[in-house]
Amino acid sequence: MNFRILYRPDPGHLFWRADLTGADLWTVAARCATLGDPTMLDDLRAGIRIPSLIGLMLEDGYRPGQDRALIRQDAKAYRARLIASGRKSFDTTLKKGGHLTNYGGSHKRIRQTVIEDTYAETGVPWDPGLDLCLRVRNTYLSRYWGLPRWWADTAFKVTRTGRLTMATGQVREFLSRRPKNGKLDDETRREALAAEPQSVTTWICNQAWWKLWSDLENWTEGAVNKGEPIVQVLLSVHDELAGQCRVDHRPFLASKLTSAFDQPITIGRITLTIPFEGLTGPSWGECKEPL
Amino acid sequence: MNPVTSSTLPSLPAPTLLDRLSWLHAQGRLGLPLAFDTEGEEWMTCCSLAWMEGAVSKALVVDTLSLRDHPYGPSIWSALTAILEDSGVIKVCWAAGHERGFLQWTHHITLRGYRDAMNLWAERWPELAKRLKYAATILTRIPCWTEGISFNEDREEAQATGEKLWRYNGTDSIATLQIYQHPQLQLTGAQADRVAFHTALIEPANWASQKGIAYDQDRSSALREEILPKLWEAQADVDDQAGVEPLNPDQVLAAAADALCHKTRMKRSLAGYKERVASMDDTGQPVLNKRGKPVKTTIEHSPRILSWTLCLEHANKDCRQPLLRLKELAEVETPAAQAEINAILERGINVKSSGESSQVIALLNRLGLPPVFKRGTHKAKPDDDEQGVMPSQSKDQEALLSLFLRTGHPVTIALLKVMSIRGQLQELARGVSSDGRIRCSYTVGYGTETGRTTTHKWLDGAGGNLQTVPKD
């Protein structure tokens, strides 16, 4: 049930959302590319929906070629088929499978997470089975072969120095846990792998928030209520900013959000700008109209 | 760095306090960093300013609660506000976001020139707990000052008043200052930039918190009405699997009388009784005998038949509404109605019951399902009662999902459904502020080890963690 529909803008205003969903994946892709595998980064740049591509490879024996525009089209069509046939839980398995595989999760963990997430979404848990989860994981790793390199690189850094320095400048020291026999325990390894993607996504959102706040134009350009910004940030949710602005300031909103999220960041040896999706609507839960 | 040693707190007369505040303001403008801390929920009970004189830490505590009707009250508030709003005076806080939000919300004071020692601590050691007492224990020689003052961890508030609270408050600000000035927290480069950035981000975060979001209460009530029937259908499934027998209308009436009515009065009404009452004349005055004492007559009350009317006459406190609801439901012969009846009469499976009286765990044990234990607790000891509920058994969602994974038993799905719907109802029970808007407070940049921002209940208790509001 969508409870976000209860969060509404003030009269004469619209609600907006700027979403960096999938942002974590860009960090993972940049790290893999730095270590020699640009596949994930190229797929993301081409706009390919990765879980759908994995599903296509798994179910239809699809062999992606060099033409990424075609891959993108095929993945989109596959997803449409999946949703039309009511197999949303299978799509959840593909999404979670990919997400957890990025951070070294096992097929057992994927299964556990899918059960928890389908329960959280629908109130009824769905069990994908261990076999399917293993196949999703293996298919994912067959395409993105740079992932184990990234895992080993991260584990090496934490084992040798006890710390990780992120692209955002954050230095995280993994204090209480020490590697046994030169090997990191699973929990520390997962936390270490998830650290930088989360740090980067949050950093970009916070930077965008600050840019909107400190932009003088956002306070003076045709402002109706003195002392309040035109583009108002009312919520920060990990990979998303949300807020409101007056309906007649929609073009201004589009321009300011684009500028706020235009933040090149260097991760490893790759400099990229993580794209965002801007949507508006009559409530937080009904933001469906693209900017 | 010396621990606080003074055994009694010297009290200052108001003019001296004013002078001291002026002096602190002047020193602050000359570059002396001050630490600042407040205590209080809806009103500032007290606040303290700490500073260093050489190697000695000192704190000045202002009992703001007593300023309300004090002749010097306005002047002291004015002097305090001048310090707090002066961007040229550094005020070091622990969780500056909270302090700033509190001052703005309750006293309309805008805190400027603030620094956040918690941000330094969290940037340096993201993995360590962010409570002041942990940082102080590690970086200062100040003893755990909650000793001698009861501090309610669950409600996160000091229980003491008077001198105990002032000492606690003064020690907080001294500890904050010492932590801020600790060599291990003199960060440079990218880390220092991050701290400065997240401290600056407190301002827009506070603004968002104070502004709040309009909340559609009508739609919320409508959603609640939509969800309630689903809850009872799901609960009916659980009760059915647990073998709870349905009640016919007469049984509902009898159970309601037993559970929700005054037992003695009901028994008397049903059995009939005699009552001695004073006789009244036509004018309503008591009739008196020759000795001037009221004449009493005996009234015989015949036995009454058990009915809803009788139940309502003898309803226990706050039981009138449940009785009326039971009366409506008794005639509706559906599983959902039965589930609601069971819930009111406390005879169904209550998923919220916990600990040793957990009905869910008792049900799972009765159905022969393998026990799931809470993380980090010991499993069953040899002398544990295997039929009863073991203290370390868990019945939360994680445990039920684990059971579902292992056994696929339909009762796990039924219980999870009820919990899920109850979770939805809880979502709709988020409080809104008195102006009908929903708010949350932010911990920007250091909510988690990875730098994520987290949200919490606002100062008036409304809102909550708005990052978990479910979406499609």
Contact A49, A75 (CB under 8 A): yes
Closest by CA to B117, choosing from B54, B28, B30, B50, is B50
pLDDT at A4 over 80: yes
Quote the CA–CA distance of B334 and B336 in Å, as a whole number. 5
Q: Look at B216 and A283 and tell me if their CB atoms are within 8 Å.
A: yes
Least confident piece of the model among A5-9, B42-46, B247-251:
B42-46
Q: Phi-psi bin for B292: left (phi > 0), alpha (psi -120 to 50), beta?
A: left
Quote the CA–CA distance of B439 and B436 in Å, as a whole number. 10
Nearest-CA residue of chain A relative to B411?
A: A124
The whole-angstrom distance between B113's CA and the closest CA on chain A is 17
What is the biggest distance separating any 2 CA atoms in chain B, rounded to whole angstroms? 103
Using DSSP bridges, classify how beta strands B56-62 and B151-152 pair: parallel, antiparallel or unpaired: unpaired
Least confident piece of the model among B1-5, B223-227, B343-347:
B1-5
pLDDT digits (tens, 9 = 90+) for A48-77: 999 999 999 999 999 999 999 999 999 999
Instruction: Give the rounded percent of residues in chain B with a pLDDT score beyond 70.
Output: 88
Residues 6+ apart with CB under 8 A from A232: A243, A244, A245, B208, B211
Q: Look at A169 and B190 and tell me if their CB atoms are within 8 Å.
A: yes
pLDDT at B291 over 60: yes
pLDDT at A176 over 60: no
Contact A147, A139 (CB under 8 A): no
Quickly state the pLDDT bin for B6 (edges 50, 70, 90). very low
pLDDT score of B249: 92
> How many other CB atoms sit within 10 Å of the CB of residue A62?
17
Query: What would the mean pLDDT of B262-275 be, rounded to a whole number?
Result: 89
The whole-angstrom distance between B416's CA and the closest CA on chain A is 7
ipTM of predicted assembly, 2 dp: 0.92
Contact B44, B107 (CB under 8 A): yes
Q: Phi and psi for B367 in degrees, rounded to 5?
A: -80, 0
pLDDT score of B152: 60
Query: What would the mean pLDDT of B58-83 be, rounded to a whole number?
Result: 91
H helices within B30-116, ranges in order?
73-85, 96-107
Query: What would the mean pLDDT of A155-172 be, rounded to a whole number?
Result: 91
Residues of chain A contacting B201 with CB distance shorter than 8 Å: 206, 209-210
Task: Give the pair of three-digit tokens for residue B406.
Answer: 């292992």
Residues of chain B contacting A1 with CB distance shorter than 8 Å: 223, 227, 424, 470, 472
Half-sphere exposure of A254 (CA within 13 A, CB side): 9
Residues of chain B contacting A210 with CB distance shorter than 8 Å: 197, 200-201, 204
Contact B46, B203 (CB under 8 A): no
Q: Look at A3 and B428 and tell me if their CB atoms are within 8 Å.
A: yes
Residues 6+ apart with CB under 8 A from B211: A228, A232, A234, B437
Of the residues A108, A211, A236, A287, the best mutation for testing chain B's interface (the one with the most B CB atoms within 10 Å of its CB) is A236
pLDDT winner (highest mean) among A4-18, A78-92, B361-375, B423-437 = A4-18
pLDDT score of B154: 61
Q: Look at B208 and A206 and tell me if their CB atoms are within 8 Å.
A: no
pLDDT at B244 over 60: yes
Task: Give the pair of three-digit tokens for residue B209.
Answer: 């918190």
Provide the mean pLDDT of chain B.
87
Structural Rg of chain B based on CA atoms = 31
Q: Look at B452 and A202 and tell me if their CB atoms are within 8 Å.
A: yes
Least confident piece of the model among A82-96, A276-290, B388-402, B417-431:
B388-402
> How many other CB atoms sit within 10 Å of the CB of residue B304?
15
What are the DSSP calls for B357-385, one per residue?
G-HHHHHHHHTTPPP-B-TTS----TTS-
Least confident piece of the model among B182-191, B196-205, B285-294:
B285-294
Task: Give the pair of three-digit tokens for residue A95.
Answer: 């999404």
* Touching A: B residues 293-322, CB under 8 Å: none
pLDDT winner (highest mean) among B111-125, B237-251, B303-317 = B111-125
pLDDT score of A225: 58
Element (H, E) at B265: helix B263-271
pLDDT at B444 over 70: yes
Contact B346, B352 (CB under 8 A): no
Quickly state the pLDDT bin for B371 (edges 50, 70, 90). confident
Quickly state the pLDDT bin for B3 (edges 50, 70, 90). very low
Q: Look at B223 and A285 and tell me if their CB atoms are within 8 Å.
A: no
pLDDT score of A160: 86
Burial class (CB in 10 A: 0-12, 13-18, 19+), A88: middle
Using DSSP bridges, classify how beta strands B114-116 and B91-93 pair: parallel, antiparallel or unpaired: parallel
pTM above 0.90, yes or no: no
Element (H, E) at B441: strand B441-443
> How many other CB atoms sit within 10 Å of the CB of residue B183?
6
Residue type at A220? T
Query: What would the mean pLDDT of A99-125 be, rounded to a whole number?
Result: 88
Q: Look at A127 and B427 and tell me if their CB atoms are within 8 Å.
A: no
pLDDT at B12 over 60: yes
pLDDT score of B255: 93
> How many other CB atoms sit within 10 Å of the CB of residue B300?
8
pLDDT at B4 over 70: no
Task: Give the pair of three-digit tokens for residue A99.
Answer: 């997400």
Task: Please tell me which of the candidates B205, B219, B467 has its beta carbon nearest to residue A6.
Answer: B219
Using DSSP bridges, classify how beta strands B114-116 and B56-62 pair: parallel, antiparallel or unpaired: unpaired
pLDDT digits (tens, 9 = 90+) for B298-343: 888 888 889 999 999 999 888 999 999 999 999 898 999 999 999 9
Residue type at B140? T
